[in-house]
A and B are shown apart, each in its own frame.
Chain A
Amino acid sequence: MGKYKKRDLVAFVFLMPWIIGFLIFQAVPFLNSLYYSFTDLSMLKTPNWIGIANFQEIFTYDRDFRKSLMATCIYVIISVPLKLLFALFIAMLLNMKLKGIGLFKTLFYLPSILGGSVGIAILWRFLFAREGFVNLLLSKVGLSAIDWLGSPKLALPTVSLLAVWQFGSSMILFLAALKQIPKELYEAAMVDGSGRVRMFFRITVPMITPIILFNIIMQMINAFQEFSAPFLITQGGPLKATYLYGLMVYENAFTYLKMGYASALSWILFVIMMALTFLIFKSSKGWVFYQDGGMES
């Protein structure tokens, strides 16, 4: 005990509000939902313990589960790399020394502030509706209207694009990372006669790999939990093409009143995300470069 000083106590006191909030609003519901996933909890009734019946149903029968998991994986595979590439691209533009760069930074960050909002999702719906702006542009160049959100094949990519639009937070992180790359590296490379492309792949990318890792994980987790875009734009349709996992959990919980079942679904997603995160961390040893030698794991 002697190790702990007054300083630590002060820190602890300052952390208390967060810890209390965490325990009440996250830890308790988290553990509760684990318990509920083994029950038949509906909204207002007392739950009965039903063992692994929920999980059995999910894995052996529930076609929506398979469809939804597949759609969600595709969504993650489309939206995360696109978003990160776009974020990196904009970050590199903003890293150049230009007049009024502060203004540009703000402008580019704006969509991210707005992007998660209901209003933008609705706007997206209007843009890509049959009578929407995108089809209007197509008609100007003589192309016929496309049902972006009505076609089972196109709906998911269209919804995924909305996510790409919210590249701001990754961009800011990339920008910070780019700023930290020592100039000497580039100078040395130029002296040695390297081109821009070579410098990008040999200096820039390796130097920002820790941030790439961080962004991949964060964005992957966000994407797996995406809810508002499909909920507001397509309600999961057409033909469940955009029936993402979050939407499925929500529908089971609030439309079918199968809270226990929804808890089980949540836990499966949790395990999947945990496993993927673990795999990415494992793989990171092979491709992430820490300037200071990295942390001991």
Chain B
Amino acid sequence: MRKRAWSIFCAAALTMVSLAGCGGNGGNEETKGTENPVTETGNEKEEITLRFSWWGSDNRHEATIKAIDRYMELNPGISIEYEYMGFDTYYEKLLTQLSGGTQPDICSIDHKWIGDLINQDKPFLNINELTDIIDLSKFDQEFVQNFCGREDYLIGVPCGMTARGALYNVEFFEKYGLSSEKDWTWEDLLEAGEKVNQQDPDAHLLFLTNDVLVYLTRDLIKQKYGENMINDNYELVCTEEDLKECMEMVKKLVDTGTMPSFEQTVLYENVFADQVPAWLEGKWGMTVLVNSNLPSVVAASPFEVKTLRLFSSEGGKDSAITIAPTMMLGIPKACKHPEEAAKFINWFVNDPEAVEITGDTRGVPANEEAKESLAKKGLISEEVSAMLTQALEVTVSPENTPTLNAEVAEAISEYSHQVGYGQMMPEEAAKGLYEDLTRLLKKIKP
């Protein structure tokens, strides 16, 4: 018995540790093949199989699969396999695949990972070197070069352009006498939130995902200073006092009843409104999200919804609205058929037929021509384009790597929660956050 217990114990411990042990330096070796892109034209007309991976919701999956099927019809000899999943673990899977050499040939990349991936020795081909195959002429050059890479390195071709904004339940607004005629400041938000909660203690104006809760601090700082919370030198641009104001905002949102208590919302902090019962029942009336997530929320909501520009600070220097490329399609350096993968990407983002099949399932197309043709045919949903338009009317600037760092985000999230739960006063939280961030930034600065 004893020996058996020991051996099982050891086995179990090993399994546990092996989870962490599976990093690899294989990536480096595999990149060698890419210096001479494979040329498979000519004598051998073998069946080429490409793998394409993306994340998203059902309507995106269906449209993409339809497009893939069409491409295979048009291009005999090319077969495209696909793997799709939810967003929350996509990145983990992608990194594991990259480090193990089992990555797809066409990967979807989120803008939040650009900095990380560049620091990780750039595992994707520079699209700027593939422009003879991938036609980028119909894209807003400034957007592509500034938002989808760094300097001359373009990590992928953006499928769409997204913007962050607020979404509200029109009936809810009418019921509590709120108006959205003009843009809201944070003060307007608090005032409206208090008004709602006073009329009905069970009703709350605003609920946020964890992501957006973190953005709250980043946004307030960016609005105040006109630049990202952490600059490219990995330095905080704000003071401890500024952070205190951010933490106070969290506290005010909870104290005024604008937001429900954290006890109630914490379970829904990683899902969008379409999975939040209180939103669907009309008890919580407003949320903040990225417009590429709108279609599923609009479809699930049994009431009329409208978009509102993100809350601003009076006299702010920047809107702090994030405009971002969505689902950049990249080709890993280890891909065996980079040319074929590039051809598919080119078709996927440029071909009128592909554009029509995929519609607005990846946000508003970043390809201007595609955007116009979809808009003409009425294939972009009203809310999706409204949120982007509202964002593009004000000053926006790209976010940078250090501000988007996952550990930085975790620190902001942790202290925001401490304040939201009433475990810490804003002052104390700001002090802790300032110290933690200062220390962290020193460590992560490359």
- In the bound assembly, the distance between CA atoms of A152 and B262 in angstroms comes to 10
**A258–chain B nearest beta-carbon distance, Å:** 9
- Kindly identify which residue among A213, A256, A273 contacts B13, using a CB–CB cutoff of 8 Å: A273
The reply to whether B16 and A266 contact each other, CB–CB distance below 8 Å, is yes
Which residues of B from 182 to 204 have beta carbons under 8 Å from A? none
Instruction: Please determine whether A151 and B1 come into contact, CB atoms closer than 8 angstroms.
Output: no
Tell me the complex Cα distance, A238–B116, Å.
Answer: 27
A46-B25, A47-B25 given; A240·B16 CB < 8 A:
no
Contacts of B44 in A (CB 8 A): none
Q: Is B347 an interface residue (CB 8 A)?
A: no
Chain A residues near B123 (CB, 8 Å)? Answer: 44
Q: Of all chain A residues, which has the CB nearest B424? A: A239
CB distance from B313 to the nearest CB of A (A): 28
B239 in the interface (beta carbon within 8 A): no
Decide yes or no: A249 and B19 within 8 Å by CB, A43-B95, A44-B121, A131-B277 being known contacts: yes
Q: How far is the CA of A43 from the CA of B20 in the complex (A)?
A: 11
A239 contacts B21, C-beta separation under 8 Å: no
B93 to chain A, nearest CB (A): 9
Q: Are A26's CB and B18's CB within 8 A?
A: yes
Residues of A within 8 A of B261 (CB): 147, 150
Bound complex: CA A29 to CA B24 (Å): 11
A151 touches B17 (CB 8 A): no
Instruction: Verify if B438 is at the interface (C-beta below 8 Å from A).
Output: no
A33 contacts which of B21, B25, B410 (Cβ < 8 Å)? B21
- Residue in B16, B91, B98, B269 whose beta carbon sits within 8 Å of that of A270 in the complex: B16
Cβ–Cβ < 8 Å partners of A239 in chain B:
414, 417-418, 421, 423
Can you report 17 A-B residue pairs in the complex whose CB atoms are below 8 A from each other? A30-B17, A43-B23, A44-B99, A46-B28, A61-B439, A214-B1, A218-B8, A238-B262, A246-B16, A256-B406, A257-B406, A259-B23, A266-B17, A266-B19, A269-B16, A270-B16, A273-B9
- A interface residue numbers (CB < 8 A to B): 22, 25-27, 29-30, 32-33, 36, 41-47, 61, 125, 129-131, 147, 149-152, 210, 213-214, 217-218, 221-222, 225, 234-235, 237-240, 246, 249-250, 253-257, 259-260, 262-263, 265-267, 269-270, 273-274, 277, 281, 295, 297
- Which residues of B are at the interface with A, using a C-beta cutoff of 8 A? 1-2, 4-6, 8-9, 11-23, 25, 27-28, 91-92, 95-96, 98-99, 116, 120-121, 123, 261-267, 269-270, 277, 406-407, 410, 414, 417-418, 421, 423, 439
A-B contact sample (15 more), CB < 8 A, given A129-B277, A269-B16, A270-B13: A25-B18, A26-B15, A29-B14, A29-B21, A30-B14, A30-B17, A41-B23, A43-B23, A43-B120, A47-B23, A214-B1, A225-B16, A237-B269, A237-B417, A240-B414
